[in-house]
Amino acid sequence: MQKLAQDFSRLHLIRLAGLGVLSAAALLPCAGQAAVIGTVTAGGYTFTNFDPTLTGIAVGSNANGISNAGQLVGTAVDVNNASTFANYSGVPTNTTALNTGTGQIAFGINSAGNVVGGNNTTAFYLPSGGSPQTITVPGNAINAFGINDRGNIVGQFTSGNATPGFYLSSAAGNSFITINAPNVATGTNTVNAQGVNNNGLAIGFYLGTDGQVHGFQANTAGAAPGGTITGAAIADPTIPPVPGEPGATFVFSQLLGINDAGLVAGYYGDSTTSQHGFIYNTNTGTYTFLDDPAEGFNGGGVEVTQITGITNSGELSGFYTDANGIAHSFAAIPATTTVPEPASLALLGTGLLGLCIVRRRREFA
């Protein structure tokens, strides 16, 4: 797999790597079916690991987002963790194939079941029960990564040699807000706007002057249509020691989803090329580290967990890699029905790091 720093589009494990057009007709998940790999309760969360029922070259999957209604959206992957462009939505025990169009990846979903995505060239919007539509504003939108319950959409577009983020009020909108990187003054402006909550707070990641990507947040509320806002850099996490990775140091981080309480789902990459999930609190500036306990070190000593979305009730979406390096989707439900307080989340993360049931590990495409 390629390293994240080599492709700054929203790469979840495979994300947009290897976007050759496949004949995906035989690869679509069967409607109403999903294969549950297992359920593990740890640290106050119950993880349900699953793949949609797959055929052909599809062997695993990435859950790329989750709505406040608890509906997941994701894509099937092959043995190399490259997308088969067979996308799904639903819950771990019941998924449905999505008609997102040829060569597209589904990234975000809202409570109405509307889906957004892209292929690093063209962004799309798929209304629930409808047909995929190309997002034409901005005219060179290459990916749409997040959609909230108000229908606001965030993503990435090209502008000359730059790839800033965008905020669009709706799929039918005729104006947008440009989101620039915190270090735009240095001439670097590569931004992935990944999620936006119902209060207008957008999050994502940007390419820093150090050649790595880091998290940002940007308040779109009150911004003038057609205007530009600059994201505020989020301090990188101080990563904890992880069993099996002695001496690992922080390399990059990505923020991928946000709920209305300002809790953010994401992950970081370390010097061993492993990846680990976290929940970041925008109100307190604190991180909680959380991995799927079913993740495993592959033959190269790499493990991966990415947390890709978080609901208002605290439910999580994401994926992990097993001992063969294959990615699988998960949904994680907290023991309580309300979003855990920061202190509780900190304890949760500590408990999971000590658990290490199968070891987690993840890379990037």
Question: Is the residue at 40 inside a domain?
Answer: no
Task: Tell me how far apart the alpha carbons of residues 153 and 88 are, in angstroms, rounded to a whole number.
Answer: 19
pLDDT of residue 32: 55
Q: Using alpha carbons, select from 176, 161, 185 the residue that is nearest to residue 233.
A: 185
The mean of the pLDDT values for the chain is 85
In a domain, 73, yes or no: no
What pLDDT does 345 receive?
37
Amino acid at 129: G
In a domain, 237, yes or no: yes
Residue-wise DSSP of 222-270: TPPTT-EEEPEEPPPP-PPP-TT-TT--EEEEEEEEE-TTSEEEEEEEE
Q: Is 196 inside a domain boundary?
A: yes
Residue 36 lies in a domain: no
Please name which of 213, 203, 157, 209 lies closest in space to residue 187, comparing C-alpha atoms: 209
- For residue 78, being part of any structural domain is answered with no
pLDDT at site 350: 34
Which sign does the torsion angle of CA 81, 158, 219, 215 carry? positive
**Can you give the pLDDT at residue 184?**
84
Amino acid at 159: S
Prior bond of 246 cis (ω within 30°): no
Contact 221, 169 (CB under 8 A): no
Q: What is the DSSP letter of 159?
A: B
The number of domains in the chain is 1
Q: What is the CATH number of the domain that holds 307?
A: 2.130.10
User: 23: which 2 tokens?
Assistant: 């004949």
- Is residue 322 assigned to a domain? yes
What is the span of the domain harbouring residue 304?
Answer: 4-9+113-355
Q: Is residue 56 part of a domain?
A: no
Instruction: Quote helix, strand, coil % in the chain, to nearest 5.
Output: 5, 45, 50
**Which neighbouring-strand residues pair with 255?**
266
- Which uninterrupted H or E stretch holds 70? none
Tell whether the torsion through CA atoms of 120, 325, 348 and 247 is positive or negative: negative
Closest Cα partner for 363 from 308, 313, 314, 301? 301
Q: How far apart are the first and last CA of the chain?
A: 5
Cβ(145)–Cβ(155) below 8 Å? yes
Place of tokens 């390629």: 2
State the Cα–Cα distance between residues 183 and 199, nearest whole angstrom: 25
Residue 57's pLDDT is: 78
* Tens of pLDDT, residue by residue, the chain (365 residues): 323 333 334 344 433 322 222 223 333 334 457 899 999 987 789 999 999 987 677 899 999 999 999 999 999 999 999 999 999 999 999 999 999 999 999 999 999 999 999 999 999 999 999 999 999 999 999 999 999 999 999 999 999 999 999 999 999 999 999 999 998 877 789 999 999 999 999 999 999 999 999 999 999 998 999 999 999 999 999 999 999 999 999 999 999 999 999 999 999 999 999 999 999 999 999 999 999 999 999 999 999 999 999 999 999 999 999 999 999 999 999 987 544 444 333 333 333 332 222 222 222 23
What's the confidence (pLDDT) of residue 58?
87
Secondary structure (DSSP) of 124-155: EEE-TTS--EE--SSTTEEEEEEE-TT--EEE
Buried b (16+ CB within 10 A) or exposed e, 245-256: beebeebbbbbb
